[in-house]
């Protein structure tokens, strides 16, 4: 861990679409061999080759469930065998994977946990990839410890770091799984291979974590709403957290935490377009990027509700907001935002938490707070305009509100976080796509 060369290594995580076939694995080897610093490889299970395929992980869950009720699992298991042996044969790897699969079939019949079964997609793919790359295979069940809360245990840094210490070797560390304190195989949530990649980068003290997928980096807006949105060259950890929370399709926050805590940059790359630089996720933006864009991106979600409580001299009533949030706590309802004025306060919650309980919740608020006014908006969409440099850029809010006004879009809510990292606006769901397009056009050139 002390060798200075070790800090120059790159961890490469490849997603399911990057490993869906032998042809894709050939692309992966070319990418790895193009840069000698790409020493630690984290594979997902093989993804879908086309719309007719079923995900390997789904087939594994199906086999485990069928075996647990003494049902026949031969057909989904046949599909699993066909995928892995097919890749092995097409790549010309000396046959060995069928033996591992046959042992797994026996394990299924004897009874295994859902986590163990699901982990085998990454496990078997890792074995194939290690053989294909002449790399050392490291079983995460031996050195990645997952705590009872589902988060990686800090003991992992030393356990895995020691296994990755040889800087002159390549290593394959399958994604998605590790073990619990009792030694049983445990998986992360779906998409957990991203987490494994970040864990490996931190344990190895890597210079960079490359996340290879089927897109050339991240975009500044949803391409389903904004036509040809501009790609992000760089974005900070804080910005990406805000954008992910508001629905942007980026790395899960759990996958960012291990590298964010120690400042290892992340590079989102495209396996099918390896020359594209993709998007870098960093602690601090470069000067060139700061001067090139006013914001990091625009993202949003529908499916929120807003409760507004009005009461004269509310500001002089000690504990008013505390009691309002206490009603939500009592009913097990988390809140998203809580904008306020001198005589009113609103709480924004995801509509799914309310379901058929609206009148019950409003009734408790009336009894607890005795408000002068109580208003409920059942449907609202939230849009976040995110950017670390917004606080130092005059006129951002004016451009946002002007763009929405010019398009005749009514703003139901305005909120800005204390960090001045984002501006949140709420609009009617039917105005959501138009609002995103208007804001993007006003701020991105």
pLDDT band at residue 175 using 50, 70 and 90 as cut-offs:
very high
Give 258's Cβ-side CA count (13 Å radius): 28
| 389: pLDDT strictly greater than 60 | yes
* Least confident window among 1-5, 210-214, 412-416: 1-5
Bridge-partner residues for 422, per DSSP? 386
Q: Where exactly are the structural domains of the chain?
A: 17-198, 297-443
What number is the average pLDDT over the span 277-296? 79
Query: Which tops the pLDDT comparison, 283 or 285?
Result: 283
Bridge-partner residues for 301, per DSSP? 382
pLDDT band at residue 189 using 50, 70 and 90 as cut-offs:
confident
For the whole model, what pTM was predicted? 0.85
State which fold the 297-443 domain adopts.
VC0802-like (3.30.2130)
Say what angle helices 56-68 and 74-91 make with each other, to 10 degrees: 140
pLDDT band at residue 1 using 50, 70 and 90 as cut-offs:
very low
CB-based contact 311:372 (threshold 8 Å): yes
% pLDDT > 90, the chain: 73
* pLDDT tens digit sequence for 391-419: 667 788 889 999 999 999 999 888 876 56
CB-based contact 300:246 (threshold 8 Å): yes
CB-based contact 165:138 (threshold 8 Å): no
Pairing label, strands 344-350, 297-310: antiparallel
Given this model, what pLDDT does residue 419 score? 60
| 3: pLDDT strictly greater than 60 | no
CATH top class, domain 17-198:
alpha beta
Q: How does the average pLDDT of the chain come out, rounded? A: 91
């Amino acid at each position: 861990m002390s060798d200075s060369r070790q800090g120059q290594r790159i961890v490469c995580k490849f997603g399911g679409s990057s490993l869906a076939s032998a042809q894709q694995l050939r692309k992966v080897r070319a990418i790895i061999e193009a840069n000698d610093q790409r020493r630690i490889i984290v594979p997902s299970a093989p993804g879908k080759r086309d719309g007719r395929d079923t995900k390997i992980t789904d087939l594994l869950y199906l086999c485990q469930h069928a075996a647990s009720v003494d049902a026949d699992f031969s057909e989904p298991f046949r599909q699993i065998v066909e995928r892995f042996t097919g890749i092995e044969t097409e790549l010309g790897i000396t046959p060995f994977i069928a033996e591992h699969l046959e042992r797994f079939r026996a394990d299924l019949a004897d009874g295994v946990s859902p986590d163990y079964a699901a982990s085998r997609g990454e496990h078997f793919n890792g074995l194939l990839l290690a053989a294909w790359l002449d790399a050392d295979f490291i079983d995460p069940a031996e050195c990645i410890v997952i705590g009872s809360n589902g988060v990686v245990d800090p003991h992992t840094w030393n356990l895995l770091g020691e296994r990755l210490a040889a800087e002159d070797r390549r290593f394959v560390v399958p994604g998605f799984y590790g073990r619990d304190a009792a030694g049983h195989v445990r998986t992360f949530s779906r998409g957990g291979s991203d987490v494994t990649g970040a864990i490996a980068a931190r344990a190895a003290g890597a210079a960079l974590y490359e996340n290879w997928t089927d897109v050339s980096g991240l975009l500044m807006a949803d391409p389903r709403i904004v036509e040809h949105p501009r790609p992000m060259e760089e974005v900070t950890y804080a910005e990406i957290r805000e954008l992910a929370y508001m629905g942007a399709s980026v790395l899960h926050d759990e996958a960012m935490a291990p590298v964010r805590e120690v400042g290892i940059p992340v590079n989102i790359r495209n396996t099918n377009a390896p020359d594209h630089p993709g998007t870098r996720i960093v602690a601090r933006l470069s000067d060139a990027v700061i001067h090139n864009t006013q914001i990091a991106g625009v993202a949003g979600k529908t499916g929120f509700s807003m409760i507004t409580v009005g009461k004269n001299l509310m500001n002089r009533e000690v504990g008013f907001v505390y009691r309002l949030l206490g009603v939500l706590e009592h009913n097990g309802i988390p809140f998203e935002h809580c904008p306020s004025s001198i005589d009113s306060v609103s709480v924004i919650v995801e509509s799914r938490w309310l379901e058929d309980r609206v009148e019950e919740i409003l009734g408790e608020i009336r009894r607890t707070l005795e408000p002068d006014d109580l208003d409920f908006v059942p449907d609202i969409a939230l849009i976040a305009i995110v950017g670390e440099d917004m606080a130092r850029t005059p006129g951002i809010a004016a451009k946002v509100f002007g763009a929405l006004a010019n398009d005749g879009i009514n703003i139901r809510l305005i909120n800005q976080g204390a960090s001045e990292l984002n501006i949140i606006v709420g609009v009617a769901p039917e105005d959501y796509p138009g609002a995103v397009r208007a804001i993007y056009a006003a701020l991105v050139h």
